[in-house]
Structure 1
Amino acid sequence: MEVAVSAVASELVGRFISLMNKYHSSHAQSEEKMVERLHHLLMRACTIVEEADTRYITNSGMMMQLKMLSEAMYRGHSLLDASRYRALQDGASFDEVSSNDSSSSSLYLIIPVKRSRTTADKGNKAMGLDSHGALESLEIAVANISEFVVLLGGCERMSRRPYDVYLYTDNFMFSRHAEKQKLLSFLLEHKDPSGDHALAILPLIGGVAVGKKTLVAHVCSDERVRSRFSSILHLNGDSLLGILGDGRAMIGIMLVVIEFTSDVGDDDWKFFHSFLIRMGRGSKMIIVSKLKRIARFGTVKPILLSALCHDELTYLFKALAFGSVEPAEHPRLVQIANEFATVIHSSQISLVATNMFTDVLRSNLDVQFWHCILHKAARMVKRNRSIYGVNPTMRIEQGHPVDITDIALHPLSMKSYSDNISIKTELPSVTFGELITDPSVRPKGDFTLIAWESRIAPHKSFPNYVTSHAQDTHQSSALPGRKRQGVPI
């Protein structure tokens, strides 16, 4: 009897494996066709977007098409990575089941396998709908781009040098294709000489650390912009009235870039504006601020710079984390990078912090190391939400300290030096990468933490003031319901 049961069990398992094999093969073929189609469309879309980035576009309709195409492109890249990782997981699961076929006890593996696959099938079905949605939106965007490509050929080409391309990536001048074109169009537009002498003012409005000043710096480095204006003057709105005495600086056709961190009274603005109109005809101004109210001073429609969407941030994060390494060669690291990007996006962490973390990850392409850094970042975000009720980025924006206990494995708080705190040059300093990979480098007492430093000139750095926060953490140095444990690296 036992021999008969064993034979029947072996037969059932064999048939089950055979059916799984056929399903797996059919599903894999369908998936491969979709991935291949998505890959080819992404190649076309990337080619068009890259070419558009080397041209001066003044047509508003073309700018809108470029924005739609780039959004579809980043979404497609995100789903392509997800499909590749899902194929890796499916292959691993199938190999595990197949390896147990030689034993009659494999019959007992059917139930847990079916349960796990039921859950996986639901996720795969949802992912499949997303994949087909991304594929469809990309197909539509590419199919309707023929006219755009023809018109693009008539747009003047920008001069590009290898150093500019490196600077473009290193300083986070990423995405923002349509916004860059709008800003260039504003600066290079020539008004009728017989028209009035009204000063053209463009407000650039966006949240903290979304790339406003980087966008302006990138556009101002354009060859045509630099030759258009006799000088480019960068002003700080906080010292608005103190800069009005230097009339000699307002000679010729000028571009004035002024940043406002707080609101300005209408009377102060009128006085300042009356001073600026002394500039030569054709001069222009860009107002940079996080305050939407400042947009009332503009003479043209403002450019609203929002945070990168999830797909854009994921693409950027992987590009920075892998550097010159091909991500497809490290599928498990790609999955961790996707999870990291999700944590950053949901936490509204700034682009400086994005570069800060990716700089550390790029130094060690090890799965365990990446998992450790991800867990530290996630715990830091969770701790600040638990203690203060807001994300770390919001705390910094409000001028309050951020708890970095999980980064340093010691009760510490960090405050940006930009928040009316003078840089204390006498304090010891460490970099973020040194602290998160080896918390023992933490100096005794207060110190300066260099969040990140640009790798090329002018090597801009982002220092922060770090101090013990044992006296003001509301006795919440550990997450509720658990003890803080250091994770060795």
Structure 2
Amino acid sequence: MFGLTMLVVIEFASDVCDDDWKKFQSFLISMDRGSKIIIISKLKILARFGSVKPIFLKVLSYDEMRYLFKAMAFGSVDPAEHPQLVQIADEFVKVVHDVRGSLVEINVFADVLRRNLHVQFWRSVLNKGIRYFKRNLSIYGVHPGILIEQGHLVDISDFALHPLSMTLGEPLVNVSIKEEPPSVALAELLANPSIRPEGDFTLIAWKSRIAPHKSFTHYVTSHAPETYEGSKLEGSALPRRKRRGVSI
């Protein structure tokens, strides 16, 4: 009987006990010696589990980010046919690169722009994005992408033209009546801020087009602007919003 050869891709968000890793690795090898494991993580310490030299992804250069953003924003459309959009895209990439923006942010905004290749729409969306970066840097002194990763709130008032804050995760479900909170796609919110639900809601920032089509969701709630004034972060993380409640 032939063994089952597998390719296992694991993403670690935290460090792993060496003994636990050895047990898992031994189990996989026992199934078939041709099986392979790929480890993905932001923690360099996990490189100790690898049997080959690790590959470290660094911040993209301006030219690399510019090429990637245009490829995703224009899709199959020739950018040369839209010189004004190319100029707007260049302006946005410069801002994102200057504040050391992430690939997730590039993906999110490119996904929004690809839906509507009109100059006025692009200018509106990218101006909102630029104000979003500058507002959070001014308030907290930290890039909003880093704030989200660490569980802090970020100000997204510029997206909806209404005082809103956002953090990683989803609103809690009202277990007693099993009511799901409303959800809105970021692309829809940027295009039409009036669709913002009353009260808390789930914001779907981006959904992968590759199976299993993972969605990047955030918890959004209204906030009073004055509560954000002068609130520079000083090393203490805000508590992360719990994910959906589960009935017991």
TM over 0.5: yes
Which of 217, 226, 233 is the matching residue for 1:463? 217
Give the CA deviation at 1:296.
1.0
Contact residue 168 and residue 217 of structure 2 kept, 8 A = yes
Residue of structure 1 in register with 2:78 after alignment: 326
Q: Structure 1 counterpart of 2:108, which letter?
A: M
Residue of structure 2 in register with 1:269 after alignment: 21
Which of 337, 362, 382 is the matching residue for 2:134? 382
| Distance in 2, Cα, partners of 1:451 & 1:423 | 18
Residue of structure 1 in register with 2:113 after alignment: 361
Which of 467, 472, 475 is the matching residue for 2:229? 475
Matches within 5 A, 1:397-416: 397-416=149-168
Structure 1 stretches lacking a partner, 5+ long: 1-229, 231-250, 478-489
Matches within 5 A, 1:339-350: 339-350=91-102
Give the CA deviation at 1:413.
1.4
Q: Structure 2 counterpart of 1:281, which letter?
A: R
Matches within 5 A, 1:208-357: 252-357=4-109
Give the CA deviation at 1:439.
1.3
Contact residue 9 and residue 39 of structure 2 kept, 8 A = yes
| Distance in 1, Cα, partners of 2:68 & 2:117 | 17
Residue of structure 1 in register with 2:180 after alignment: 426
Residue of structure 2 in register with 1:449 after alignment: 203
Give the CA deviation at 1:458.
4.6
Give the CA deviation at 1:359.
2.8
| Distance in 2, Cα, partners of 1:291 & 1:283 | 24
Show CA shifts across 1:16-72 (max 9, x none): xxxxxxxxxxxxxxxxxxxxxxxxxxxxxxxxxxxxxxxxxxxxxxxxxxxxxxxxx
Question: Are the structure 2 counterparts of residues 453 and 254 from structure 1 closer, same or farther at C-alpha, using a change threshold of 3 Å?
Answer: closer
Q: Establish whether residue 391 from structure 1 lines up as the match of residue 143 from structure 2.
A: yes
Question: Are the structure 2 counterparts of residues 287 and 423 from structure 1 closer, same or farther at C-alpha, using a change threshold of 3 Å?
Answer: farther
Question: Among the aligned pairs, what percent are the same residue?
Answer: 64
Q: Structure 2 counterpart of 1:364, which letter?
A: N
From the CA coordinates, give the structure whose radius of gyration is larger: 1
Q: Structure 2 counterpart of 1:428, which letter?
A: P
| Distance in 2, Cα, partners of 1:365 & 1:259 | 35
TM (normalized to structure 2)?
Answer: 0.79
Structure 2 stretches lacking a partner, 5+ long: 174-178, 232-248
Contact residue 139 and residue 229 of structure 2 kept, 8 A = no
Contact residue 322 and residue 362 of structure 1 kept, 8 A = yes
Q: Structure 1 counterpart of 2:165, which letter?
A: S
| Distance in 2, Cα, partners of 1:269 & 1:453 | 31
Matches within 5 A, 1:167-206: none
Contact residue 263 and residue 293 of structure 1 kept, 8 A = yes
Give the CA deviation at 1:405.
1.0
SS at match of 1:324: coil
Contact residue 353 and residue 451 of structure 1 kept, 8 A = no
Q: Structure 1 counterpart of 2:50, which letter?
A: G
Q: Structure 1 counterpart of 2:207, which letter?
A: E
Contact residue 171 and residue 181 of structure 2 kept, 8 A = no
Give the CA deviation at 1:414.
1.4
Q: Structure 1 counterpart of 2:158, which letter?
A: D
SS at match of 2:126: helix
Q: Structure 1 counterpart of 2:185, which letter?
A: T
Q: Establish whether residue 435 from structure 1 lines up as the match of residue 185 from structure 2.
A: no
Regions of 4+ moved over 6 Å: none
Contact residue 208 and residue 214 of structure 2 kept, 8 A = yes
Contact residue 348 and residue 393 of structure 1 kept, 8 A = no
Question: Are the structure 2 counterparts of residues 365 and 272 from structure 1 closer, same or farther at C-alpha, using a change threshold of 3 Å?
Answer: closer
Q: Structure 1 counterpart of 2:91, which letter?
A: E
SS at match of 1:285: strand
Contact residue 380 and residue 403 of structure 1 kept, 8 A = yes
Question: Are the structure 2 counterparts of residues 338 and 297 from structure 1 closer, same or farther at C-alpha, using a change threshold of 3 Å?
Answer: same
Count of residue pairs the alignment pairs up: 225
Higher helix share: 1
Show CA shifts across 1:270-297 (max 9, x none): 4444444423223222111110000011
Give the CA deviation at 1:455.
5.0
